[in-house]
Chains A and B, each alone.
Chain A
Amino acid sequence: MRQGHPGPAVPAYRHAAQKRDDAIRFVREEDIPWDVVIDDVDGRVHAQYGLLPDPTYLIGTDGQVAFYSYWTHVPTLRDAIATLLARGGSGVVGEQRLPHPLAPLADGWRAIARGLPQSADDMEAAAPGSTLLLKAGSLAKPLLAPWALTSRHWSRPQVAAALLVLGVAAVGLSLVRSSRQLRA
């Protein structure tokens, strides 16, 4: 994948070797036990799979996409895997197109933190309040992570409502910070 939030120490990729080095670092830092493959520098395979940020696909033994998720919600993915295996490993299980917000809220800051300060400045300019929200989520991780790992699949209206609340919270945090900066 591309560098989603580049910064001084993590610039946009220009060579395949940069992606390989980051993949190795990623495996080590995130303690990833599964096989990691590296797309070409122009993201050819990523483009074939839709160019979404951090999507997850479950592919059946028939070679078809069985399940698709924007970001990843572990309990939902676990249920999808169980359903697919119960069906003999093939067929359609479904999708979770609206992202479940708990996991990225609890752990999203870790990715942004690798590209500081530019990554956070750009993120904040693109989506006001988002970095404050991710920082708050990082601080609340001891509470959010267990919830993210055990909460069941949320319906589309539930996810939409949660995203709306988080969006309002992000804008609110951004306004509070802006007013403090104006007073200072």
Chain B
Amino acid sequence: MTATARPYNFDRFDRQHVIEDVERTVRGAGAAPGSAAPDFSLPAIGGELFTLSAHRDRPVLLRFASYT
């Protein structure tokens, strides 16, 4: 079973999630240092739009979080 075959929003955390996390870590999934950071425009909780490429005047710290 591949990672993309499973739903992004899942009802139950299971062992396959652990395996996928370990596999992605070992493989070095994601945007590697030196690669272009994927640009995005997303709403902030205040409603205003945040566009990554509009913040080139200083470095940006991007942290992905989960409530649980």
Chain A residues engaging chain B, CB cutoff 8 angstroms: 1-7, 10-14, 20, 22-27, 34-68, 70, 72, 77, 81, 84-85, 89, 92-95, 97-99, 111-112, 114-115, 118-119, 122-123, 125-127
Query: Would you give the 0/1 interface string for B23-45, flagging 1 where the beta carbon is closer than 8 Å to chain A?
Result: 01100111111111111101111
Chain B residues engaging chain A, CB cutoff 8 angstroms: 3, 7-15, 17-18, 20-21, 24-25, 28-40, 42-45, 50, 52-53, 56-68
Complex CA–CA separation, A5 to B13 (angstroms): 6
Are B11 and A94 neighbours in the complex by a CB distance under 8 Å?
A: no
Classify the secondary structure of B's interface with A: loop
Complex CA–CA separation, A27 to B46 (angstroms): 12
Complex CA–CA separation, A93 to B61 (angstroms): 13
Are B18 and A126 neighbours in the complex by a CB distance under 8 Å?
A: yes
Complex CA–CA separation, A71 to B34 (angstroms): 19
A37, A44, A54 interface centre (most CB from chain B within 10 Å): A37
Contacts of A127 in B (CB 8 A): 15, 18
Are A50 and B59 neighbours in the complex by a CB distance under 8 Å?
A: no
Are A63 and B68 neighbours in the complex by a CB distance under 8 Å?
A: no
Complex CA–CA separation, A93 to B34 (angstroms): 9
Are A55 and B14 neighbours in the complex by a CB distance under 8 Å?
A: no
Give me the 3 closest cross-chain CB pairs, A-B, nearest first.
Answer: A50-B30, A4-B66, A48-B38
Contact A59/B62 with A48-B38, A51-B24 known, Cβ cut-off 8 Å:
yes
Complex CA–CA separation, A60 to B62 (angstroms): 11
Contact A36/B62 with A55-B30, A125-B14, A127-B18 known, Cβ cut-off 8 Å:
no
B3, B28, B62 interface centre (most CB from chain A within 10 Å): B62
Complex CA–CA separation, A106 to B62 (angstroms): 22
Contact A38/B56 with A2-B9, A22-B67, A57-B37 known, Cβ cut-off 8 Å:
no
Contacts of A41 in B (CB 8 A): 9
